[in-house]
Copies of this chain bind each other. A is one copy, B any other.
Amino acid sequence: MKNVSRNAVNWSVDDIDRMVHEPARYMILSILYVLDTGDFLFIQTQTALTKGNLSSHISKLEEAGYVKVVKEFIGKRPHTMIRITKTGKKAFEEYRGTMSRIIGR
């Protein structure tokens, strides 16, 4: 048995992109949507997420194709740059549209 049909409130749970719906990831995307790129530590301070948590959310966003991760060395230290993709931007916009509709404004 699967949920497939539309309902009286005129939206289905499947309309909501869970990848974006998760607050931590929404926050990450909302930063990158404006700035396009950000390094790991910048995003960490902005979101106030723990490193571990941030790390795994970035991995998920990467797997979803919503961000690209570039690792390099700055001087002698490792550095991780995260860039939002076209797909990621679109997903973010669509999520906002969907939620606007659902929340009603």
Contact = CB atoms under 8 A, between A and B. Distances in A.
Contact of A103 (B2, B11, B16, B100): B100
Nearest to A27: B9
A53 to B, nearest CB: 8
Contacts of A105: 100, 105
A47 to B, nearest CB: 6
Interface of A: 1-9, 11-13, 16, 21, 23-24, 26-27, 30-31, 45-50, 53, 96, 99-100, 102-105
Given A5-B48, A12-B48, A100-B103, 9 more contacts: A3-B53, A7-B27, A8-B31, A9-B27, A9-B46, A9-B47, A96-B103, A100-B105, A105-B105
